[in-house]
Chain A
Amino acid sequence: MSHPASSLLGASLFKSAAFRLAALQAFLFALAALVLFLVSWLAARNYIEGQLRQDISDEAAEVAVLHANVRADAVRRVLARRPRTPFDYGLFERDHTLIAGDVRQEPAIGWSKVDQREEHARSGGYVRRMLVLATTLDDGRILVVGRDLASVEQLDSLLKRTFTWASLAVVLLALMGGMVTALSYLRRVEVVASAASRIAAGDLGARVAVTRRGDEFDRLAVSLNSMLERIQTLVEGMRQVSSDIAHDLRTPLTHLRQKLETAMQEATSIESYDQACERALADVDGVLETFSALLRITKVESRQRQAGFAEVALSPLLERLADDYRPMLEDDGRMLHTDIAPGVQVHGDALLLTQMVVNLIENALHHTPPGTPVRLKLEALDKLRRVIIEDAGPGIPAHERTRVLKRFVRLDAARTTPGNGLGLALVAAVADLHQIALTLADAGPGLRVQLDFTFPPNISKGVTP
Chain B
Amino acid sequence: MKILLVEDDIDTRSYVSAGLKARGHCVDESGNGSDGLSRASAQEYDVIILDRMLPSIDGMSVLRSLRNGGAHARILMLTALGDVDARIEGMEAGADDYLGKPFALSELLARLNAISRRGAYTSAATTLQVGDLELDLIAQRVTRAGRQIHLQPREWDLLKYFALHAGEVITRAMLLEHVWGFQSSFQSNLVDTHVCRLRSKIDRDFFGPRLLRTVRGEGYRLCAKQGH
Interface residues of A (CB under 8 A from B): 288-289, 291-293, 295-296, 299, 320, 323-325, 327-328, 331, 351, 354-355, 358, 362, 365-366, 418-419
Contacts and interface: CB of A to CB of B under 8 A. Distances in A.
A289 B185 contact: yes
Nearest to B82: A292
Contacts of B187: 289, 362, 418-419
Contacts of A358: 182, 186
Contacts of B197: 327
Contacts of B194: 324, 327
B180 interface: yes
Contacts of B180: 324
Residue with the greatest number of chain A CB neighbours at <10 A, chosen from B154, B180, B187, B189 = B187
A323 B153 contact: yes
A299 B184 CA distance: 14
A370 to B, nearest CB: 14
A291 B186 contact: no
Given A288-B102, A418-B187, A324 B154 contact: yes
B122 interface: no
B81 interface: yes
B82 A295 contact: yes
A60 B194 CA distance: 124
A289 B185 CA distance: 8
Contacts of A299: 82, 84-85
Contacts of B193: 327-328, 331
B152 interface: yes
Contacts of B186: 358, 362
A289 B173 CA distance: 13
Given A292-B82, A324-B194, A365 B188 contact: yes
B86 to A, nearest CB: 11
Nearest to B152: A323
Given A328-B190, A331-B193, A295 B184 contact: no
Contacts of B102: 288
A291 B102 CA distance: 11
> Which secondary structure dominates where chain B touches chain A?
loop
A293 B100 CA distance: 13
A296 B82 contact: yes
Nearest to A320: B154
Given A292-B184, A296-B184, A365-B188, A323 B84 contact: no
B182 A323 contact: no
B116 interface: no
A327 B154 CA distance: 11
B129 to A, nearest CB: 27
B184 A355 contact: yes
A324 B184 contact: no
Interface in B22-61: none
Contacts of B183: 351, 355
Contacts of A328: 188-190, 193
7 contacts: A288-B81, A292-B81, A296-B184, A299-B82, A355-B182, A362-B188, A419-B187
B213 to A, nearest CB: 20
Interface string B184-222: 111111100110010000000000000000000000000
A312 to B, nearest CB: 13
Nearest to A298: B82
A362 B182 CA distance: 15
A366 B186 CA distance: 13
A21 B85 CA distance: 49
Contact of B84 (A291, A296, A320, A365): A296
A354 B189 contact: no
Given A323-B152, A324-B154, A358-B182, 10 more contacts: A292-B100, A295-B81, A299-B82, A299-B84, A299-B85, A327-B194, A351-B84, A355-B182, A365-B188, A418-B187
Nearest to A278: B217
Contacts of B84: 296, 299, 351
B98 to A, nearest CB: 14
A301 to B, nearest CB: 14
Contacts of A325: 190
Nearest to A426: B184
Residue with the greatest number of chain A CB neighbours at <10 A, chosen from B85, B153, B193 = B193
A331 B85 CA distance: 34
